[in-house]
Amino acid sequence: LFAGDFHFIWASPSIETLPPMAGVEIAFAGRSNVGKSSLINALTGRNALARTSSTPGRTQELIFFDGPAQAGLRLVDMPGYGYAAASKAKVASWTTLIHKYLEGRSNLARVYVLIDARHGLKDVDLDVLKTLDRSAVSYQVVLTKADQIKKSELEGRITDVRTSLATHPAAFPEVLATSSEKSEGIPELRAAMVRLLEE
């Protein structure tokens, strides 16, 4: 499934221009620059499938990627929320798009909510978790950039985030730690996605 067979199919700047629903959709949400696009590249084994940048605000649309035809898996890269090297108006319109998409997409099987391992959950993240809880969309928190902190700090962060998730009905209790740079946690995340397809 994850053998480099993913390809771009659609980019949607607005909620009115989403592609027709097909297959099992899995979306990657998170603050600007958290590493959403990099994680999609690491998962699919394609270096430049999703566009990445050190400047927050790189992904400005909902970007849809399809896996091998029979698998019926579709990955969605999302604009970041929270902050960006873009106008306030743009950030606000992305945030509206993100929330509308997350609450209204019935073939959305799972959302991975990416959190920078160094920073933990922020208020803007909690807003997204609330939208997902309210819409009963199953989601799991994935820590990113795990290569940037010490193992002991990472363990503490995982425990803290797990504790916060206890009050969120649609959240998976498990928190995955990943590094797209060092390919850590990638096989585990792929395995979780395969299990989802088999459900």
- Interface residues toward ligand GTP, by CB under 6 A: 30, 32-38, 52-54, 56-59, 79-80, 144-145, 147-148, 179-181
Least distance from Mg ion to the Cβ atom of residue 18, Å: 18
Under rule CB under 5 A, residue 41 binds Mg ion: no
User: Is 21 or 77 the residue whose CB approaches ligand GTP more closely?
Assistant: 77
Which of ligand GTP, Mg ion, none does 35 bind, CB closer than 5 to 8 A by kind?
Answer: ligand GTP
Least distance from ligand GTP to the Cβ atom of residue 169, Å: 26
Which of Mg ion, ligand GTP, none does 44 bind, CB closer than 5 to 8 A by kind?
Answer: none
Q: Are 77 and 26 in contact (CB under 8 A)?
A: no
User: Is 52 or 140 the residue whose CB approaches ligand GTP more closely?
Assistant: 52
In angstroms, the CA 55 to CA 60 distance is: 12
Q: Are 133 and 171 in contact (CB under 8 A)?
A: yes
**105: nearest Cα among 18, 45, 5:** 18
Burial category of 27 from C-beta neighbours within 10 Å (exposed 0-12, middle 13-18, buried 19 and up): buried
Under rule CB under 5 A, residue 180 binds Mg ion: no
Under rule CB under 5 A, residue 59 binds Mg ion: yes
Which of ligand GTP, Mg ion, none does 53 bind, CB closer than 5 to 8 A by kind?
Answer: ligand GTP
Report in angstroms the alpha-carbon separations of 40 from 2, 84, 106, 114, 155. 11, 20, 22, 11, 24
Beta strands in 14-167 (DSSP E): 24-30, 62-66, 73-77, 108-116, 139-144
The residue of the chain with the least Cβ separation from ligand GTP equals: 80
As beta bridge partners, residue 26 has: 75, 110
User: Is 105 or 145 the residue whose CB approaches ligand GTP more closely?
Assistant: 145
Least distance from Mg ion to the Cβ atom of residue 36, Å: 5
* Tokens found for residue 87: 């106008």
Residues that bind Mg ion (CB under 5 A): 36-37, 58-59
